[in-house]
Amino acid sequence: MTNFNMNTYQNDIIVSILQTIEEINHLKDVDTILDKILYEARKLSRSDAGTIFLVEDNQLKFSYVHNDTLFKKDESNAALYSNYSVPINEGSIVGYTALTGDPQNIEDAYQMSPNTPYHFNPDYDKKSGYRTTSILTIPLKTFENKLVGVMQLINAKNDSGQSIPFSIESQTYVPLFANHASVAIERGVMNRELILRMMKMAELRDPTETGAHVQRVGAYSAEIYQQWANRHKLDKKVIKRNKDIIRLAAMLHDVGKVGISDFILKKPGKLSDQEYDIMKWHTVYGARLFINTTSLLDTISREIALNHHEKWSGPGYPGKIENILTENIAMGTPKQGEEIPLAARITSLADVFDALTSKRSYKEAWTDEQILGTIEKESGKQFDPELVDCFFQIFDVIKAIRAKYQ
Ligand code: C2E
Ligand code: SIN
Ligand code: SIN
Ligand code: FE
Ligand code: FE
């Protein structure tokens, strides 16, 4: 009888793990994949908090965090965009886990055996007021044994919410899932890099701009969307899926600049009216790349590329165009308000904010005061006023993103 119960219990866990793996395999962007993996690992181990570090340039780069005690669930959160790395060596728990490939199970971070090679760094607890007790670290390795990162789970909880050591089950089940998770992470990183490379082709020619602009616009857009979607009380799963897609699609907003000549793209001064008219075609050129409508990512990418220079109160560009494949057509009659797809309204705000923050070949960076003043002034004109509200509500997150991708 006991055995039977054990098996049912184990079965439920395995089914849940398999379901999660299936869901992760549908996600595209690395941040959403990390969120899902951390969620599942914390559910399996009943832990309060967790962090994922990814291997980058032979270091462990902080990449994702959950903390039920410190952060509100499913809300935009500046801590996600912290920017630091830990060396892969014996000095830290995660460094040691990466170095040796062995999971570490620590009962109390403040009472570790003096024989352990690594030390617990209490800085984060000191700053945040959090109390780290139990820690479980898991190396994230693909089936080919390639290390992609380390997951650190913190404070396993019992039924009454007290921190307890991580159980044998946690040590068994979380690693079971780690290989699949690692493969998904590798794929997510590859997707992100593929997009950055694609954008480099478009932006390489503009030497002041690199992947950083693209990453910022993607992250701003994803967070503004989440704030908007929370307000509209959309289903949590729907929000996660759309956020995943909007982040990638927003990164591609200017991909149509590949079709614009160097002379215009790199011009150090102000564009003439004629040159500006040519520049406007980057919206249509971009949209043509996503003419295929088989995936939601293609659809949203096309909506964003085509409409990210439309204005809430009209007229932006290119306006209503019957067939974007037709050559030599004039710009269309103006679109406005909700005729402009939501994802494009969001990206427009993110793009202009970022363009104003940055130095361009044709202009200096603005101060925050000037930028915020302009955005406020343009609320209801250039920008959807509700999105401007969302933007200001998460401005601390926006600043954290800007600091992360410099
Ligand atoms: P971008 O530099 O990424 O700018 C994106 C959008 O941010 C602009 O769309 C505009 O709405 C806003 N923006 C950027 N700088 C300023 C500014 O100084 N003042 C104001 N009020 N808004 C600003 P827009 O105007 O449709 O331009 C699209 C793209 O065309 C720009 O992308 C840039 O690549 C190019 N571009 C626009 N004007 C010039 C120019 O005078 N010289 C050169 N070389 N390129 C320009
Ligand atoms: C223009 O309207 O010619 C360009 C606006 C700008 O990006 O400065
Ligand atoms: C979208 O998900 O971007 C479309 C939804 C809308 O325009 O309201
Ligand atoms: Fe653009
Ligand atoms: Fe842009």
Phi, psi of 256 (to 5 degrees): -65, -10
**Active-site hit among 240, 243, 257, 311:** 257
- Which alpha helices (DSSP H) does 232-270 contain, by range? 236-251, 262-265
Phi then psi for 104, rounded to 5 degrees? -120, 130
Q: For residue 273, what pLDDT is reported?
A: 96
Whether residue 174 is found in the same domain as residue 227: no
- Strand bridging mode 85-87 / 59-67: antiparallel
| Residue among 361, 382, 356 nearest 371 (CA) | 356
Residue 196 domain-assigned (yes or no): no
Please give the Cα distance from 160 to 319 (Å, whole number): 58
Look at residue 193 and tell me if it is in a domain.
Answer: no
How far is residue 274's CA from residue 284's CA, in Å, rounded to a whole number? 17
Regarding whether 211 and 106 lie in a shared domain, the answer is: no
Domain co-membership, 141 together with 221: no
- Residue 329 structure tokens: 């057509």
* Domain presence at residue 125: yes
139 bridge partner residues: 150
Question: Do 165 and 288 sit in the same domain of this protein?
Answer: no
List strand residue ranges (DSSP E) for 223-338, in order.
none
C-alpha 151/C-alpha 178 separation (Å) is 9
Decide: 331 and 318 in contact? Cβ < 8 Å.
Answer: yes
Residues 252, 295, single domain; the answer is: yes
CATH number, domain of 331, equals 1.10.3210.10
**Whether the Cβ atoms of residue 305 and residue 256 lie closer than 8 Å to each other:** yes
Instruction: Identify the pLDDT of residue 16.
Output: 82
Residue 157, ligand 1, Cβ within 6 A: no
CATH number at residue 132: 3.30.450.40
pLDDT beneath 50, residues of the chain: 1-2, 4
Residue 1 has what pLDDT? 42
Q: Is residue 123 part of a domain?
A: yes
Query: At a CB cut-off of 8 Å and minimum separation 6, what does 273 contact?
Result: none
Same domain, 19 and 145: yes
Mutate to test the pocket of ligand 1, among 276, 284, 357, 370 (most ligand atoms within 8 A of CB): 276
Domain end point (choices 156, 188, 220): 188
- Listed residues 188, 220, 250: the one ending a domain: 188
Which atom of ligand 1 is least distant from the CA of 317? 26
Its pTM stands at 0.87
Does a structural domain hold residue 201? no
Q: What is the pLDDT of residue 400?
A: 96
Which residue in 317, 325, 318, 311 sits closest to 378, CA to CA? Answer: 311
Span 94-108, pLDDT tens digits: 999 999 999 999 999
pLDDT at residue number 265: 86
Q: Torsion-angle region of residue 274: left (phi > 0), alpha (psi -120 to 50) or beta?
A: alpha
157 contact partners, CB below 8 Å, separation of at least 6: 46, 47, 48, 163, 164
Q: What is the pLDDT of residue 363?
A: 82
Q: Give the domain extent around 67.
A: 3-188
Residue 352 and residue 321 share a domain: yes
Q: Residues 213, 109: one domain?
A: no
On whether both 161 and 310 belong to a single domain, the answer is: no
Residue 198 maps to a domain: no
- Residue 257 annotated in active site: yes
Q: Which atom of ligand 2 is nearest to the CA of 273?
A: 3
Tell me how far apart the alpha carbons of residues 396 and 385 are, in angstroms, rounded to a whole number.
19
Residue to mutate (ligand 3; options 238, 342, 347, 348; most atoms within 8 A of CB)? 342
- Answer whether 61's CB lies under 8 Å from 70's CB: no
Instruction: Determine the Cα–Cα distance for residues 361 and 375; give it in Å rounded to an integer.
Output: 22
Is residue 175 located within the same domain as residue 239? Answer: no
> Does residue 139 share a domain with residue 228?
no
Residue 155 counted as domain residue? yes
Give me 406's structure tokens: 């410099």
For residue 2, what pLDDT is reported?
A: 46
Ligand 1 and 351: CB distance under 6 A? yes
Distance (Å) of CA 18 to CA 138, 180, 271: 19, 10, 55
Which atom of ligand 2 lies nearest, measured to the CA of 276?
3
DSSP 325: T
**Domain tally, the chain:** 2
The rounded distance, in Å, linking the Cα atoms of 35 and 77 is 13
Which one of 133, 154, 188 terminates a domain? 188
Note whether residue 197 is domain-resident.
no
Element (H, E) at 141: strand 135-141
Same domain, 110 and 153: yes
